[in-house]
Structure formats: structure tokens, C-alpha cells
A and B are shown apart, each in its own frame.
Chain A
Amino acid sequence: AQSVTQPDIHITVSEGASLELRCNYSYGATPYLFWYVQSPGQGLQLLLKYFSGDTLVQGIKGFEAEFKRSQSSFNLRKPSVHWSDAAEYFCAAPNYGGSQGNLIFGKGTKLSVKP
């Protein structure tokens, strides 16, 4: 069955430090892949998406993600974290197997930023 896994439930980094949030997927073929961010009390906002082509994808707010087929991963990175990046981050991929045509989400990684 298709799945999206985010191994880290909660990560704390210092402001200015680099960040990497992990995402692994389990699919038969190369899926489309997405990263969303959710600030407290808000809906989910798309950070970036991978459909095909260049495996390094640039997104909003200085984030990037790299698709690695050999590792079935789509990790999100940012070179220097800002306090405003504190939020919950969700990796997602399409639900190809069902008739639903929606996204399967990972359980999310909550990011805390220390001053």
C-alpha cells in the first residue's frame, strides 16, 4: 500500500541553524510529492512540489527539497531557520491506489525554533 512517512514527530533547532525534515514514501512508481506548512491555528499552505525533472525543488520562504529515488525520500531543507518557521510540516503524495484522487499525508513534523 502507498504510504508517506515522516520519522520525526518533533524537531527543535536554533535560530540561524540549518534544517532538514525527513520524508519517505512507499510507491510503485515515482509519485508527485508535496510539502505543506501549517502555522498554529491556520490551514495548510503549499511550500513546494515535485512533479518531474530537476530533483532539487525550490519553494517559498527559502525552503528546498530534494527527491532521491534510490532512498525513496523527499527531504525538506532550509539553510538558516528563522523564528517564524516554527510550525508543523507535512509531506504528501497522491493516493493513486484508490478512486479518491486525493493526497496521502504524513503525520507531520512539528518544528520548534530556539532563540
Chain B
Amino acid sequence: IAGITQAPTSQILAAGRRMTLRCTQDMRHNAMYWYRQDLGLGLRLIHYSNTAGTTGKGEVPDGYSVSRANTDDFPLTLASAVPSQTSVYFCASSSLAAGELFFGEGSRLTVL
């Protein structure tokens, strides 16, 4: 089934550790996004990529980095995790800049 695959589904991490959340799409969408979802704050954009080889900062980029080496993959890295990065992370993609987003199932990250 075509769509977005995120891994891991869930992870508990010690503060200070490095973590990479993986995201792969098979819809050949140009644009990909990482959001975090927190209670009462809704969805907030972390980083985005409008096309392979380019990335940009969203609303809450600090402490996160991304890369877009090819169309399909868009990993999100936490270089040194902190407890405030405990959240549910969603990867999404779209074929148009202002078009609908398709979401993965999410990665629940707990930083202790």
C-alpha cells in the first residue's frame, strides 16, 4: 500500500543521546515535512523540504536537523535529545506546495 512509513513507532531515549527518526514515502511527492504534536499546542512544523536537496526551517526547528538526499527519504535527527523533545512526531508529504498532506502513523518519542 502506497504511503508514508515512519520508524520507530515508539522510542524511549536518555537525555543527551542522538536519535534519528526515519521517514520514507513511495508516492514520489516533491515536498516532505516533519511536525511535532503536543497536547494543547496542536501540530507544529519542525522542518520541511520542497524538493530533494533542499530543506527549510519551520516553526520549531531548534534542536533538530533534517536531510533530503533523495525524493523518498526525509530523516529527522535530534543531535542531543532533551526532555522537552518528548512528543509525537509526524512525517508528511505532498505533491504540491499548497496541496493536501499525507501523514505517516507517527513516532512517539520519550526523552528521560
A residues sitting closer than 8 Å to B (CB atoms) are 32, 34, 36, 41-46, 49, 90, 92, 94-96, 99-103, 105-108
Contacts and interface: CB of A to CB of B under 8 A. Distances in A.
A42 B33 CA distance: 17
Contact of A100 (B41, B48, B92): B48
A46 B100 contact: yes
A49 B100 contact: yes
Given A43-B104, A102-B48, 19 more contacts: A42-B105, A43-B103, A44-B90, A44-B92, A44-B101, A44-B103, A45-B103, A49-B100, A90-B43, A92-B101, A100-B45, A100-B56, A101-B48, A101-B97, A102-B31, A102-B58, A103-B101, A105-B43, A107-B41
Interface in B63-101: 90, 92, 94, 97-101
A42 B106 CA distance: 7
Q: Determine the main DSSP class of A at the interface with B.
A: loop
Nearest to B31: A101
Interface of B: 4, 31, 33, 40-43, 45, 48, 50, 56, 58, 90, 92, 94, 97-106
A49 B101 CA distance: 11
A90 B103 CA distance: 13
A42 B103 CA distance: 9
Contact of B106 (A34, A43, A102, A107): A43
19 contacts: A42-B105, A42-B106, A43-B4, A43-B103, A43-B104, A43-B105, A43-B106, A44-B90, A44-B92, A45-B103, A46-B102, A100-B45, A101-B48, A101-B50, A102-B31, A102-B48, A102-B97, A106-B42, A107-B40
A108 B58 CA distance: 20
A77 B98 CA distance: 24
Nearest to B90: A43
B31 A90 contact: no
Contacts of A106: 42
A105 B92 CA distance: 13
A90 B42 contact: yes
